A and B are shown apart, each in its own frame.
Chain A
Amino acid sequence: MISFIGRSAIQKIITLFFVSIVSFLIIHLAPGEPGQVDPMNPKFTPEVVERFKKEFHLDKPLHVQYLYFYQNLLTGKTVSWKDNQPVLKKIWERFLNSLPLFIVGTILTWTLSFPVGIRSAIFRGRLYDRSATFLSYLLISIPGFFFAYILIILVVTHFHVPVIGMETFGIGDASVLHIFMDRIWHLILPSVLGATGGIAVLSRYVRSQMLEVEGQDYVRTARAKGLPTEQVYYKHALRNALLPFVTMFGLILPGLIGGSVIIESIFSWPGMGRMAYEAILARDYPVILTVNFASAVLVLAGTFISDLLYLVVDPRIRL
């Protein structure tokens, strides 16, 4: 067990090292460099550019820049090129904004997809199953931005509530209940949109997992014993079908930081995804690289946690 943890930690650190190199190279080898400025702009004299380059070590060779960058990142001293704010602080603020979206979206995904998937497996091949299948394909295939506009039109014309942004602008001194409802309304659309794809995929997965378990001998035995159908499905079958999903808890971690660039920019939600988008537009390399690095860390941590959970949950696996 301990040797497994040690080995996989070392492996993940090596992977992370290569990820850091590759992402650094992708950004810095692309045409155009951050020191390059509009020659017509009178504010940027060659001296200013020179000072800027010196400040951010851009005059050094690439490998030295790499070392400087990750040294700064690990000691928390990286600053954004755009506004000289510390990157970690900026990311933390935006992360706190994205967190409610992520939590509501995850809760929606996990609470809706299980009942739907189990019911489809029980009524396999009937009308319910077929319509659920078609609906989930529809939800996978619909472009997020198009679905967002459909929902916006629906909500705005039928309920007359504003939905763009985190709260209605200038709501200031309304009653507590009003502000609370306002926040809920603003939260609900982006998180539903973030959850749709997840619900569709996860419910299909639950269905196939249930079908697979249903073919097992112990389920047939339980039926043959004359147990009530509910008990067979929810006690014997479901508990065993749940096994792979325990490990999926680890795999939702990367969603914390990825956010959704498109949905957050449609709703002007000041979260991670939108910050990353703005950083890309401004060519703010430290922010881009930090977001990339952080999400790689989360992916690796997620797979690590899911491996561990699998170890704990499934007694058949011994190391």
Chain B
Amino acid sequence: MINMGEKGINQDFQFDEPLAPKRTRMQEFWVLLRQNRLAILGLIIFILFFCCALTGLFLTSGPDPLIDPALIRLQEKLRPPLAKPNLDSLRAEEVPYMGVYLMGTDDLGRDVFARMLQGAWVSLTVGFVAVGISVLIGIFMGGIAGYFGQHHIRVDHILLTCLLISGAGLVATKLFYSGAVLLFFGLGYIFYSFFTKKIPGKKAVTSWKGFLHKNAVSIDTLIMRIVDIMLCFPSFFLILTVVAILPASIYNIMIVIGLTSWMGATRFVRAEFLSLREQDFVAAVKALGVSNYRIIFRHMMPNALAPVLVSATIGIATAILTEAGLSFLGFGVPPPHATWGNILSDGKRFIFDAPWLTFIPGIAILIVVLSFNLFGEGLRDVLNPKLRERH
């Protein structure tokens, strides 16, 4: 810069001087995020919620919890929030922690504060695990569709898959003999095609073999059709059906919500991959002979994750709402365990006598879901490259 006039740009160019922008990507991200006050509010509420859920887990679980959410005190039922316990009628171990019912008690005299703490952890894990599952599936499917999309699936692959699936299905429905025959044929064909590939030599291409080796559909089309099929199901109704049929457990709910909400992530990753694949850095990496696996996960995925991150944040909010709705309808986590939807659903019978049983969990769900939505929308603005150029 100083003596550029004399020497010219090229001579002055030195590699050990820092040339990169002064702010790293994280710093720039943080500067942009700080300007969005609602998103910061969402982030703060989320961190608080996380701490609450974590402390709640430690306080309410274990063989001898500090605050017992399942302790029933029938003589103390439906006490309003901040009510002092009636010490005469309680045994020593039944007196609530800190000597006050912080959020009142429900119709069985259980401490609502303890139940809310326990429910916070449930909401948190349901949100994160369900979205984790859906994002993993979405990245996998979208990555394959975007990167290997041009490859074709041959007719014999489809027939083989049908053979193996129907064989496994027959075995599952206790028709062992015919199922085993189908499986045997399928495996035999796999070995046969391996051997014919291994031994290069004269290949008599007969007409039936030509038909078998014909390209049927591209991988991209196949995956996108699967996405279309999944999008045809009414999602809440589907989740409700499956959860009602399966035995009630919190893990089933997470898995089912995850398995029915991966379509958005798939579409985002595919679209990003389609545009990234044409860019120079990918061509350069390919020319260096880097393996496909490394290209996808080391070079392309970090560039494709921004929209997935946004949709995942909002997806957590949706998953928490879905879980609360399922618990409300009575299909959620089985009863002794408290969840926010559950508390609200139990409390709705006393809506005029004990409104806190409705309002405390309702407002808690509202605030947490709102924080995720606000943070997600803020993230969308910050990660938007159009907006970034302006600053």
Contacts and interface: CB of A to CB of B under 8 A. Distances in A.
Given A62-B173, A137-B373, A141-B373, A280 B233 contact: no
Nearest to B237: A276
B328 interface: yes
B216 interface: no
B234 A258 contact: yes
A146 B233 CA distance: 26
A291 B246 CA distance: 19
Given A137-B373, A143-B366, A32 B324 contact: no
A144 interface: yes
Interface stretch (B56-64, B114-122, B131-139, B224-232): B224-232
A144 B325 contact: yes
Contact of A15 (B232, B242, B329): B232
A168 interface: no
B247 interface: yes
A61 B173 contact: yes
Nearest to B362: A146
B348 to A, nearest CB: 6
Interface residues of A, number: 47
Contacts of B303: none
A281 B362 contact: no
Nearest to B365: A143
A149 B358 contact: yes
Contacts of A288: 241
Contact of B232 (A19, A32, A144, A149): A19
Contacts of A26: 238, 241-242
Interface string B49-82: 0000000000000000000000000000000000
A145 B348 CA distance: 10
B203 to A, nearest CB: 33
Contacts of B234: 254, 257-258, 292, 295, 299
B321 interface: yes
Contacts of A15: 225, 228-229, 232
A53 B367 CA distance: 50
Contact of A262 (B175, B225, B328): B328
Interface in A225-279: 254, 257-258, 261-262, 265, 276-277
Contact of A143 (B244, B245, B247, B324): B324
Interface of A: 14-16, 18-19, 22-23, 26-27, 30-32, 61-62, 133-134, 137-138, 140-146, 149-150, 152-153, 254, 257-258, 261-262, 265, 276-277, 280-281, 283, 288, 291-292, 295-296, 299-300
Q: Which 10 A-B pairs have the closest CB atoms?
A: A146-B362, A141-B370, A30-B245, A141-B369, A296-B232, A295-B234, A280-B244, A258-B234, A19-B232, A299-B232
Interface of B: 38, 169, 173, 175, 225, 228-229, 231-234, 236-238, 240-242, 244-247, 317, 321, 324-325, 328-329, 341, 344-345, 348, 351-352, 355, 358, 361-363, 365-366, 369-370, 373-374, 377
